[in-house]
Structure formats: structure tokens, C-alpha cells
Chain A
Amino acid sequence: MIRGLSRIVPNVVVGACLAIGFLIVQPAAAEEKPKADAPAETQASSAVSAPLVKGALPADDPTAAIWSSAPPATFPMSPQVHWPTRNLEATVKDMIVRGLHDGTNVAILLEYADPTEDPDDAAAVQFMVGDKKAHFAHGQPMAQVEGGPVNIWYWKNKDGKGVDMNAKGFGTLKIQDHQDVKAKGAYANGRWKVVFSRPLDTGHPEEDTLITTAGFINIGFAAWDGKKDPSSGELKEKGSQKAVSSWWYFRAEAPPNYTGYYYAAIAVGLALGFQFVLIRKLKKGQSA
């Protein structure tokens, strides 16, 4: 009996210890996961998650009802202080962002408060292109890290369209030869809603950010209050004077994935089988 036992029981004990060990360690390990940076008190989000929709994408409708099915993410904005010409105060304080995709195209909705509607009001979304990290201020060069370019989607109220651009450092902003981005804005009740849309993959990986359902990519936001000073005619914000965000995350959600449940079911089956064989062997050993 002891001989039979000595072959099986160590496995059980090690298995049980593993299970108990995992139970003890799991909460501890969860604690150790690096927490997402949460700088400001108002910081609510660190990522935009764009659900997959079955029907038509509201690519040119910032006020479509379907937007309410996309979870909003709120990001704090700062005046652009990184580079001259700076502004030390900006109109837009928070950017509410939603995303949707249909497997082919992606639509991103920016929503923010701006007390006046002006022809020069503008907004932009920014992404890194390729594998290299790009500085959030127009992908400007970094001293010790080889950076990549940024892809900027820009919309201005009076132009009423999206512009697809690239930059790698200040003063290098360039409109792309192939324009893949559409944009449309709607102003109501002191708030702008601007929707940008584009194919997930444009076929131009050197210039456009590739959006896949595989994971998170970096995203940043900017907004310009195009209010004119009545006496001087100067725009309140233009060019490098704007509200900007840091880099945050964006992802197009993958279709629902149930593999985790399958694996769990298989594991439960294996554990049950193991118990069954174990107890049968033990009982045999006992009666022998």
C-alpha cells in the first residue's frame, strides 16, 4: 500500500501546495503590477477602448446615438509649455474621448467645452508611427533615444475636413500625399464634438499609425481656441499655442474571446480526472 502511495501522493501534495501557493501569491502579485500613472486629481482615464460595432460606423456624425455605446475616457489638458511660443493658459481643460470601429474603419470622437464657436477652432489627434517611440510634442528629437515620427489627424472648423499629417520635430509638420482621414465637427451648448475616422490599416505603415485589435497604441490630443481678440484681431490660440495632452492609450477592441473559458474547462476536467484516478488507486492500495 505504501509503495503505491509513495508514487502518487507526492504529486498530490505538490499540486495542492502549488494551488495554495498561487492563492497566497496571486493577490500579492496583483499588488505588484505597476499602477497606471495617475498624476492629477482629476485624472480619470488612461486609455480609450473602442468597441466593435456591427452596423454602420458614425464616421461623419458626431452626434449619432450609437456614440453613447462607447465608453468615454476623460483626459486632462495643459497649455503647451514645452516649446516656444508657449501659452500658459488654455481654453480646453478636459478632453472626453470615445472610439468605435467596425473591423475596417475606426472613428474617434473628441468632446470638449469651448465657450465660443469660432472659424479657427481646431482639434487634433496624434499617434506614434511604427515601433519607435515618438516624443509627445510633435515627435521632436530625443538626446539618448532614437525617436520615430508622429501621425497627426487635424480638423479646423472653417475647413470642415480632416487633414492627415506627419511630424518629426517642431517645424517639420507635413501634409501627407495620401489623405486617409475624415473629420467633422458639431458645436452645441458650448461644446465641440469632433469625429475623426480612418481605415484601421491604410497600407502606408511608414506614415500612418496602424490600428489593430492586438493591443494598445499611444494616443495624444490637442485643441485650439480660435477666438479672435476684438481689438487686435489676434487669435487666442494658434500654432504651438494650444491645449495638449500627454501620451495615453487607445485600442480597438477585439471580437469577444472565450478561449480563457475553454482552457479553464479543460483544466477543471483534468483536475477531476486526476482526483478520480488518485482516489481509485488509493482505494485499491487500501484493499490490497
Chain B
Amino acid sequence: MGPIIKLILLNVVTYLILKFVLPNVPGSAPLPASLIFLYLLLTTSGFLILATVSAESKEEFWGPIQRFLVGDGIGGLQALRWVVLILFPLLVGWQTYSSTAVSDAPPGENRTIHPAPPGEYAGLSNPVPKTPETIQQGKGFYAAFCSPCHGGNFDGKGSAARGFNPPPANFADPTTIAMLQESYLFWRIKKGGVGLPIEGMPWKSAMPRWELELPDEWIWKIIMGEYDGAHQSPRTWE
């Protein structure tokens, strides 16, 4: 196998591992494209250093490239040479255009959906005893105050929901209240959208600041009703 084929294969394998294998390793996450590109560049540089340590290996590596570009009698590769010589400038041009062209898309938004709560809310526990009666009361309050947006089925599809961006949370979705502690919900309901930190983009949220309208005890009951109605359990730290 020629060294050029080796280099290409090495890069392809590295790319596949970084893109598809590594993110599946427990505790890992998908790699940003810029980082993958950097790793491929490092792989290539390393290979080039190895390929040029001796005059012999250098010739082995560069020789075929040189023959491809200027050698005579390369047969069918002659056409490929022209393709490469035409395609390369076009690629450079296309790359330049796409990196300088003015974007038509509105700015992207990276809203943090569950930002950290203020310290005073961490570790609060629900003071209301969990009984069928209190859960039922909570569901009643939920129906009156929350369901217009969060939906009678706790799915975020209330009749008033459709115009809001971000949309009202869907409590049946396992990535919402099932990932959160009751104290977190207490903070979110009490302080509402305007209580979010800057990474939560508070200026976009329609969630009311319920502390102005509901007593704390009702809020704790609503939380119990929400978990029960959405068939979820609060996250706990055991």
C-alpha cells in the first residue's frame, strides 16, 4: 500500500471514529466540527513528518504526487489530472464565497432550557404532605392556572400555547420535569420567565411570575399535581 493511500485511509478512519464512535462512549458528547478538523490536520501533519524523515520515504511519498501532476505517460490518469487542476481552484473559490457571503438567516439562538437556579432554591423540599387530597388539589390549581398553556394533558399543548416561542414545557417529555427536582419547579413557577438568568433568554418567556398571584402552598401542590398528572417523578440525589 502506498503512503498516500495510507494517509487517506488514516484520515477517514480517524474521522469515522471521532464522528461516530467517540460520541457513543459513555460520558462523552458529540465533537464540534472545528475540533474534528483540527484532529485531522494533526493526523495529516504527523503523517507528513513521518513520511519525510528519510530521503527514501520522502521519495516514496512525493514521487507519485509529482508523477501524477507532471509525469508523462500516465494513461487514463491524464483526465483525472485535468479534473483535479480544474476542480481545485473552483473549490477554493466556492469555499471563499461561502465564507464571505452575507447570511440570509436570522441570528442563531442558544437558549439554555434549564439554567441553574439561584442558590436559595437548591435543596428546598416540598413542605406539603403528599396525599391523594393534596395531589387532587394541585391538579385543580393546575387546570385553572397552568393548563391554558401547558395543556390539560400536561403535554405543552394548551389552547394558548401556539404563539409562544419558546413553547410551554411539555411535562410528559422525560427531558423536562423528570430531570428536575421539585425545588427547581418551585423556582420556575414562582419567578416565571422574567426570573431566568441571561442564558435562559428571559425576554422571550411568557411564563407568568406566579409569586404575585399564588401562595407558595398552592405552588407546591401544583408541582405534585404536575408530576402525578404527567406520570413522572422528581429527580432525586441518592
Q: A-side interface residues toward B, CB under 8 Å?
A: 2, 5-6, 9-10, 12-14, 16-19, 21-26, 28-29, 32-37, 39-43, 46-47, 49, 75-79, 81-84, 88-89, 93, 133-137, 140-145, 147, 215-216, 243-249, 251, 254, 257, 259-261, 263-268, 270-272, 275, 278-279, 282-283, 286
Contact = CB atoms under 8 A, between A and B. Distances in A.
Given A2-B58, A41-B162, 15 more contacts: A6-B58, A16-B88, A17-B44, A36-B108, A39-B161, A75-B163, A88-B159, A142-B195, A249-B106, A254-B102, A259-B100, A264-B93, A265-B93, A268-B93, A282-B70
Contacts of B198: 144-145
A18 B100 CA distance: 17
A260 B97 contact: yes
Nearest to A218: B203
22 contacts: A2-B59, A5-B62, A16-B88, A23-B91, A24-B37, A28-B19, A36-B108, A75-B163, A77-B163, A88-B148, A140-B194, A142-B194, A142-B196, A143-B195, A144-B202, A243-B163, A246-B204, A247-B165, A247-B204, A261-B97, A272-B89, A282-B69
Given A6-B52, A32-B33, A143-B191, A79 B160 contact: yes
B62 A6 contact: yes
| CB-CB nearest 3 A-B residue pairs | A78-B163, A39-B167, A34-B108
A40 B170 CA distance: 13
A283 B89 CA distance: 20
Contact of B41 (A21, A42, A283): A21
Interface in B93-136: 93-98, 100-102, 104-111
A270 B163 CA distance: 51
A270 B70 CA distance: 20
Interface in B40-72: 40-41, 44, 48, 52, 55, 58-59, 62, 65-66, 69-71
A263 B26 CA distance: 44
Nearest to B84: A16
A147 B109 contact: no
Contacts of B163: 40, 75-78, 243-246
B175 interface: no
B203 A136 contact: yes
Contacts of A10: 48, 52
Contacts, number: 208
A28 B95 contact: no
A248 B163 CA distance: 11
A271 B149 CA distance: 57
Nearest to A132: B203
B13 interface: no
B144 to A, nearest CB: 11
Nearest to A83: B208
A81 B206 contact: yes
A38 to B, nearest CB: 8
B7 to A, nearest CB: 9
B197 interface: yes
Nearest to B149: A81
B230 interface: no
Given A78-B161, A272-B89, A246 B206 contact: yes
Contacts of B162: 39-42, 76, 78, 93
